[in-house]
Structures are given as structure tokens and as C-alpha cells.
Amino acid sequence: MALTKRGAGVLDACERDVPAVRVGEVLVRVRACGVCRTDLHVVDDELPDIEVPRVPGHEIVGTVERLGGGVSGFREGDRVGIPWLGYTCGECAYCTSDRENLCRRARFTGYQIDGGFAEYAVADARYVFRLPDAYSDVDAAPLLCAGLIGYRAYRMAHTSAGDVRRLGIYGFGAAAHIIAQVARHDGREVYAFTSPGDVAAQEFARSLGAGWAGASTDTPPQPMDAAIIFAPVGPLVPQALRQTAPGGVVVCAGIHMSDIPGFPYRDLWDERTVRSVANLTRRDAREFLALAPTVPVRTHVRRYDLDRANDALDDLRRGRLEGAAVLVPRQAPGR
């Protein structure tokens, strides 16, 4: 399922040859691929320099079909995951200081590299990961972006005092439903903010341990030590700041967000911080994939056949999902 025209808002079914595998790469037979809001940004032409045709999808679970030259550490038949970060140069100041997520030559799966809305995908073996056995193919897929980006945002939500007792989460979708479980496991109180009137999302948040759930315009029971904004809505930034305690942090976790409106300096004062999260690192992947089964994180998924990718994207676009959407090629029975 490929984007063949920029701004079309829909994907087209295409037939292609199985991709060739080059030195340093692995060919993966896709068993499941999560549908992320970033895929929606690609399809809706909200990211720069999108080249078509392009196959979206960067929460890929599959089995190694073929190894390129020089690849070690994997065997044919291994179950692996392929995330958003698909390539970095390995040489720049960012790559050599454990900040490869900021590499200026980075390339991303489903954006500059064809992704997993397909039966096969090719990936740089350096950015392929083994997956915990505790998860089925479909249940593992959301861990590879909703989980990884959520985990990086969660780590960055530390304050100058170090501890975060009360964590606010704006936009209770795929990433939020995973990180809320991690936060509760760590003993933190979770406040979930949803679109006004979205009672179902608020009930879903409470079912995952949120101590309070309400509209994004509501005031929580106590000021928050930190907040993570997953919804791509710029006006949420000043709203979150106003609900954050002195010294608190507001983390913008999306790759795309509408413009942040002006706000008075007093909302930022008292050493509050606003920061963004860009991409992920391999360290994030290794740490979170080891952590997830110990919580244990349980993903809530809605399964779609691959040829229904447009339905999945539209359900995400219109807020009709609880948890995450996952595409499954028809020939892949999954685990």
C-alpha cells in the first residue's frame, strides 16, 4: 500500500517485485505493521520533502527472509522489529556522542525508506531489533514507535528536582496507552487529557490506571510535575504549562505539531521547561524492549488486513481508535 501522489490522503494498492537486499541489509517478511500518527502525517503531506511513490509504516514485525553481505547477529527465520530510525551516518558529532537521533544524514523508515505497509521490507541491519517473546506479532508492533518514542519522551520528562510524582499525558492514543502503564509501574500518578467530550478515551485511560481523566481544557486535581503532549496540537503547550508546577517540564513528543500560539511569560516562569523529542536511538530501543515485558506493558490493538490500510488511517485521523491500529498481510497468519 503506497502513497503515489503527494497530498492525496490515501494509499494505492501496488504490485512490486520482492526488494533486493544489499550489503549490510536484511530482507524481512512482514507479519504485522503498526499504524502511527506519523504515517498519517506522511499520507496527509504534513512532513517536508516526501518523495513518491513511498510505502509508509515504521512499526514493523517480521521474520528475516534473507541476509545481505556482511550481516552478522541474525539468521534467516529470526523474528525482528524495524522502527522509525532506519539509518544514521555513524560519524558525525551527534552519532559519536550517543545522540544519533539528531544525525543530519539520518533516514527514516516509511518516510525516506520504504516501510512495512507491504509484504516485504528491507532494512539496515544496524537498525533491526530482536523482540520479546512475550508478545505476538500484532501486539509487538506498537512497541516499535508508540512505545519507543513514548519511552524517550517519558525519560525526558524529568525535572530539575529529579522526581516526577504526577505526570500529565495529553492525547490518549497509542503512545499514551503504553507509557501510562510504564508510569503506573514506576509508582507515578497519571493524569490523562483527551479531546473535550471524548468520554470513551477517558474511560480507557482510567482502565489503564490513570488517577484522573478529563478534557484538555480541564484543570487536574493537582499541578503536574511534568506533562507529555502526544497530540499534534500546538495550543496544548501553553495549556499544559499553566497546569505544571514550578520547575516542571512539558515534553512535545510528536514529529509534527500545529503552531504554538503566543503565551505570557508568567506561564513559563518559575523555571518551567518546554522541550521536544526528536526520533529515537538504538539505546532507547534496547532499553524499552527489555523493559516492556517486565511491567508488563499490554498493547491494545485493532487488527486490519493490509488492503484496509486506508480504513485504519481514517480511523486514526478521526479519533475512532482505542489503543493502536495494526496492519497484517493476508498471507501472514501471525503468532
CB contact set of 269 (below 8 Å; sequence gap of 6+): none
DSSP string of 257-295, one letter each residue: -PPPPP--GGGTTTT-EEEE--S--HHHHHHHHHHGGGT
The predicted pLDDT at position 222 comes to 97
Closest CA to 74 of 63, 85, 61: 63
Closest CA to 57 of 82, 22, 26, 76: 82
Report the topology of domain 157-276: Rossmann fold (3.40.50)
111-142 confidence digits (pLDDT tens) = 999 999 999 999 999 999 999 999 999 999 99
- β-strand 273-276 against 25-35: which pairing, if any? unpaired
Burial of 58-80, coded b for 16+ CB within 10 Å and e otherwise, reads bbbbbbbbbbbeebeeeeeebbb
- Cβ-contact 237, 250 below 8 angstroms: yes
8-40 confidence digits (pLDDT tens) = 899 999 999 999 999 999 999 999 999 999 999
Report the topology of domain 25-145+279-328: Quinone Oxidoreductase; Chain A, domain 1 (3.90.180)
- β-strand 166-170 against 224-229: which pairing, if any? parallel
CB contact set of 186 (below 8 Å; sequence gap of 6+): none
Provide the grid cell at 105: 544524514
Rounded to 5 degrees, φ, ψ at 265 are: -60, -30
Average pLDDT, the chain: 95
Q: Supply the DSSP symbol for 331.
A: T
What is the longest distance spanned by two Cα atoms in the chain? Answer: 58
* Four-CA torsion 71, 118, 143, 127, nearest 10 degrees: 20
The predicted pLDDT at position 160 comes to 56
The predicted pLDDT at position 159 comes to 65
3-state secondary structure of 79: strand
The predicted pLDDT at position 334 comes to 46
Please state whether the peptide bond connecting residue 53 to the residue before it is cis, i.e. omega within 30 degrees of 0: yes
The predicted pLDDT at position 45 comes to 94
The predicted pLDDT at position 162 comes to 66
Domain coordinates of the chain in residue numbers?
A: 25-145+279-328, 157-276
- Cβ-contact 140, 132 below 8 angstroms: yes
The predicted pLDDT at position 158 comes to 82
The owner of cell 499544559 is 240
pTM of the model: 0.94
* Residue stretches of the chain with pLDDT short of 50: 333-334
Which residue type does 11 have? L
Q: Supply the DSSP symbol for 210.
A: -
